[in-house]
A and B are shown apart, each in its own frame.
Chain A
Amino acid sequence: MAQRRSRHLLPGFGLTLGVSMLYLTIIIVLPLIAMLLKVGGMGWEEFWRIVSSNRSLAAYRITFSSALIASIFNGIFGLLLAWVLTRYSFPGKRILDALVDLPFALPTAVAGLVLVTLFSDTGWYGQFLEPNGFKVNYTQAGIIVAMIFTSIPFVVRTVQPVLEEVQVDLEEAARTLGATNWQVFARVIWPTILPAFIAGCVLSFARSLGEFGAVVFIAGNLPGLTEIVSLLIYIRLDEYNYEGAAALAFILLLVAFATLVLTNALGAWQVRYADRRR
């Protein structure tokens, strides 16, 4: 024990390790183990039958394609916002900056309630869209709209700090060498912010995959058409089909874990990239 004390200069190792391990075990690890045991107990064939059923496959397809489209939109919109917020100064900038986080501050159920009202046939947006044949509520477009709203901040908040730190001298050097604005962006700025941009898009995609509250309000939840994976899990629970719920939840957990590993790797790439440039 004496040896340990001398190795750690600061106090509190035992206390904070104890509290952290106890908390992580009770709140996070134990529930996860309970679910893994449930999945492990059902056997491979049963598991495969559930996760590869037609209804599950349709739910993956709808969830993934909607999340992909939402992330592409948010990638572009997020880049625009990050650019405007870091590069220009204008009246209302601070309000716009604060407003970006609204989707995180506003509960998803409230977001869903608002969106389904906005896009209903008499809603503020729907009354213009529906006569032109563009129906949002109870279609996949509704799922995409809900996913876009709930994951707006990710790209903005990952790209913004990097964009702030793009070295001005590099940009100026490029300009003195005769580079056009577009060349400066494509050759100097874009490569620097790329890892952060991808990380933001991945986070946005992951959040969209898991979004539940906002989507169930607007999607209509028709099996095979507008049924997302989270909802299918919820339905399985309602039917007391716990195996079905566990298997699908396990798939979502795997995806979340992969996302976490991917964003960590992208973070490391960003750091390496920044170091090399210095």
Chain B
Amino acid sequence: MTTATRSPAEITLIALAFVLSGLILVVPLVLIFAFALREGLATYLTNILEPNTLHAVGLTVLTAIIVVPINIVVGVCLAWLVTRFRFPGRQLIITTIELPASVSPIVAGVVYLFLYGGQGLLGPVLQAANIQLMFTVTAIILVSLFVTAPFVARELIPLMQQQGTEDEEAALSLGASGWQMFWHVTLPNIRWAILYGAVLTNARVMGEFGAVSVVSGSIRGQTNTLPLQITQLFNDFNVTGAFAAATTLALIAVLTLILKSSLEGRGWR
């Protein structure tokens, strides 16, 4: 393909793609680091090590550590269920799991408020039991589970559909137990897709803003995740501080892209 004879149309299209992508994608990424470091490295470090920002980093990481493994386990179960069995309601399950990802994150926050909030469905019950769910870390974790519900299953379903069941049936007929079959046959076949789904889940959980801003209460040093902390710094006119906090998420984004790209290079897609 790499011949010296490129048509003028080809050159124009490639150039256009690079210029537009540069303006729309590269420049914004560069700007984050340029603004974070514009007052020097010392200021950058002070900004990053500011207690409320550090706390937000910790809370964001904690949320991801809890949400990602749950998403993996449930994603594998869901994918196994809908690709290995035919039963009534199967299509409904597939549609239900996709719904959270197609709705505005604000709506995600709202539905949780109407379930667990003081005015919500379970509000009186929770109040009687003296349990406060809204505006706590638990609420942040719950909405994060909601918005990322399809992320692992979505990667596994087409792959497992395409792989079929022959390997697994062979393992069973050779006397393997269900768990042996899963660990030695199924899991090795889908591990890269699981990792891929986990990477996407992680990126979304760490960056979720709309849903979390409804249910977290944005209490500084308590329920502020990184995106909320960035917003508050910006609203306080601490632009450099906001960008310093943003570099952490931008680095994770770049890491996500690199992981994603190398996983796709493994050819299972």
Which residue numbers of A lie inside 8 Å of B, CB to CB?
Answer: 8-13, 15-17, 19-20, 23-24, 27-35, 37-38, 77, 80-81, 83-85, 88-90, 92, 94, 96-111, 113-115, 117-118, 124, 148-149, 152, 181, 206, 209-213, 217, 229-231, 233-234, 237, 242, 245-246, 249, 252-253, 256-257, 259-260, 264
Contact = CB atoms under 8 A, between A and B. Distances in A.
Contacts of A99: 21, 25-26, 257
Contact of A12 (B27, B80, B93, B209): B80
B230 A32 contact: no
Nearest to A33: B121
Contacts of B93: 20, 24
B18 A96 contact: yes
Nearest to B143: A31
A124 B31 contact: yes
Chain B interface mostly:
helix
A259 B102 contact: yes
Interface stretch (B42-50, B108-116, B187-195): B108-116
Given A12-B80, A24-B97, A31-B111, A252 B103 contact: yes
Nearest to B199: A105
Interface string B163-187: 0010011001000001001100000
B165 A233 contact: no
Contact of A88 (B13, B210, B257): B13
B14 A84 contact: yes
Q: Taking each of A30, A229, A249, which has the highest tally of chain B beta carbons within 10 Å of its own beta carbon?
A: A249
11 contacts: A19-B73, A27-B145, A28-B149, A32-B99, A96-B17, A97-B261, A104-B203, A152-B24, A209-B104, A210-B106, A249-B106
A117 B35 contact: yes
Interface of B: 1-2, 6, 9-10, 13-14, 16-18, 20-21, 24-29, 31-32, 35, 73-74, 77-78, 80-81, 84-85, 87, 93, 95-100, 102-107, 110-115, 119-122, 142, 145-146, 149, 165, 168-169, 172, 178, 181-182, 200, 203-204, 206-210, 213-214, 226-228, 230-231, 234, 239, 242-243, 246, 249-250, 252-254, 256-258, 260-261
A9 B86 CA distance: 11
B107 A210 contact: yes
Nearest to A83: B13
Contacts of A38: 114, 121
B28 A118 contact: yes
Given A88-B1, A106-B249, A31 B104 contact: no
Given A19-B74, A27-B149, A212-B105, A98 B210 contact: no
A110 B254 CA distance: 13
Contact of B209 (A10, A15, A108): A108
A237 B113 contact: yes
Contacts of A234: 106, 213-214
A181 B242 CA distance: 50
A154 B261 CA distance: 17
Contacts of B17: 80-81, 84-85, 96
4 nearest A-B pairs in the assembled complex, by CB-CB distance: A107-B207, A210-B104, A213-B209, A11-B178
